[in-house]
Structure 1
Amino acid sequence: MERAPRLAIMLLPGLDHFTADLLVRLPAAFGWEVRPFMVTGAPALAAALAWTDGAAGDAIWFEFCWPPFPAVIGATDFGGRRVIVRVHRIEAAETGHVADMSWAKVDDVIVVSPDMAERVRAAAPEIAVTSRLHLVCNGVDTERFAPPADWNPFRIGWCGLMTLRKNPSLALQILAQLRAEDSRYHLSLCGMGGETLAHETFLHLARRLDLLAAIRWEGRIAQADMPSWHAANGVLLHTSLHEGLSYAVLEAASAGCDLAVFDHPGAAACWPAPILFGTVDEAAALIRAARPHRWRDHVCANFSLERQIDAIGAMLNGHAAARTECATGQHSVVTA
């Protein structure tokens, strides 16, 4: 081909939040032309197919294994173009979309954690013969997250959707135990929508435990403002019942926060043992013993954006030997 190879990234409205850095960094890093296509109907795929007209060297990346993508992939003749699907937590853990995908049409499958790899293999064992499965850990732009000079050990950050899966009520139980010993502990809550039941349960328990005055309700925070929000916290308390590989944890550590992460399924394959807890007592002990800037170097070494870009570039360019490693020592790019 006389021109650079082209990568069309197919996005769904509301599910495009993991690709901004990739769209910016991939072209300069590996010489591919990269263009996003927001899918609101059939014209988007037609436009992507027309743009990737060098079938032998071009590729189409579907971000999320989420409707309508499984049906679209099954019904489309890609004419020799390479097809890539990135699978996130929700498709692998809470839906049947992975099992319903026409994996014979897919050349490369990307997952973000060892737990996700196991779940995808279990849901679609045919991937072992139809597609290459790549474990490419999430990466954070650590340069955006500068640790502050002043560190407040009593401000505990909690962020995410107010859903039952995020388990916000556990954060209240931990806060109550901490405040029983020191009333300076308080919760900075960055919430972005969620479920009515989770909201009601959280507010009911907050009133019962007399914690409303100890909660700072931050509401929705723009992505550009997240570095300063994390930097103002001393600890990130992460209570989710399940995650793939949480960007919030990576960002908080990059900003100098200490970490307390609920030991959900798959957590031990992603995070160091000293930050994991299983009980309220364990979480409170971690937070009382928190220290600043403890995990930034760990994130820089294992979960940087540069590391993620290198792994994706190695996959795109077919360099199977060019592998990076997750924190656990497992390869970030694993072909099957």
Structure 2
Amino acid sequence: MTSRILAGDAAMWRSRRTGVKWGWYADDVLPLWVAEMDAAPCEPVVEAVSAALRRGDTGYPLGRDFVDAAVAYAAQTWSWAIDSSRVTPVADVMIGLSEVVRSVTGPGGPVVVSSPVYNAFFDFVAMTGRQVVDAPLNVHGRLDPEALDRTFGEVTAGGERAAYLLCNPQNPTGTVHSLGELETLAAIAHRHDVVVIADEIHSPIVHDGTFTPFLSVIGGERGVSLLSASKAWNLAGLKAAVAVIGHDARSDVALHEVHTHGASHLGQIAAVAALTDGRAWLAQVTEEINANRALLGRLLAQRLPEIGYAAPAATYLAWLDCRPLGWGDDPAAVLRERGRVALSPGLSFGEAGRGFVRFNLASSPEIVAEAVERMVRSTS
């Protein structure tokens, strides 16, 4: 397969991009860290946003089209029927998640995560003035029911209100949680009256298995789901997401009307175009990411067989076990200094990430290959 969307060399992307991915590190560092694609844009999105600018449609968002597009996409993609009256536009997934955390927990209260997990969870929980409590994934990288049951029981034993942040699919491991795992989580959360808040931003990109929205499982309607087109269509700079509040959610699970104000009008226009007319683009980029999954596996087997790698079942992020190389707790620092390649440090995803790095697959095959060569250089 010839890459059509994930194409170009480092010099081209560095000349075209002014954002954090290509601008954070020195020019001699190859960046495969933050979850952003080196991708040609989705043309329906370009056309929709350009048309809005041309006609001066740059005011405050109404939100109805965005909500309708998200509801239709969920129904058509996952057979998930969402009541649109339960959907609130928010600035982005993490802002929406933070506001729900504030509503369902008290100051200093517990927010449980399962590491290794999206690194921003830790920072945003700290920003809300709450306390992170870890119930790590098991040795197979799956949700651990015993750890969840024990931890939920401990944090609510004194009557404290608690939340659980579910990453579905899991970032950084790329795990797709099964229907059974999610139903078990819902039952455990209900038993301890813990509110599950599901970050489902990576849900449109699944390679192996089937994505199951948390709110669609038995008992899941007591939780909250947050969705966005930003990861799958590479629209992080066009802010817009939706929060879906389950039918059986507690009365304190609420978002105020002012929370809708942060979602950009142009971001919503972009998301509507992506969700309705950008599916062919998404299918192609997912195919190219899938090819890069296989390419990375071949290159590591040939050049760095010591590194542990299991192709991610979802997302465009690969979780690499560098512990056999003896690079200590933070191999990402070694790779930056010796190989001039920037990967995300595993420790940023929690204690379970010691000795790991996260590798961004959403780039051209040539850049993926160059990154592996730089990793090899780091061993000498």
What range is the shorter-chain TM-score in? 0.3 to 0.5
Greater RCO, CA 8 A, separation 6+: 2
Higher strand share: 1
TM-score w.r.t. structure 2 length?
0.33
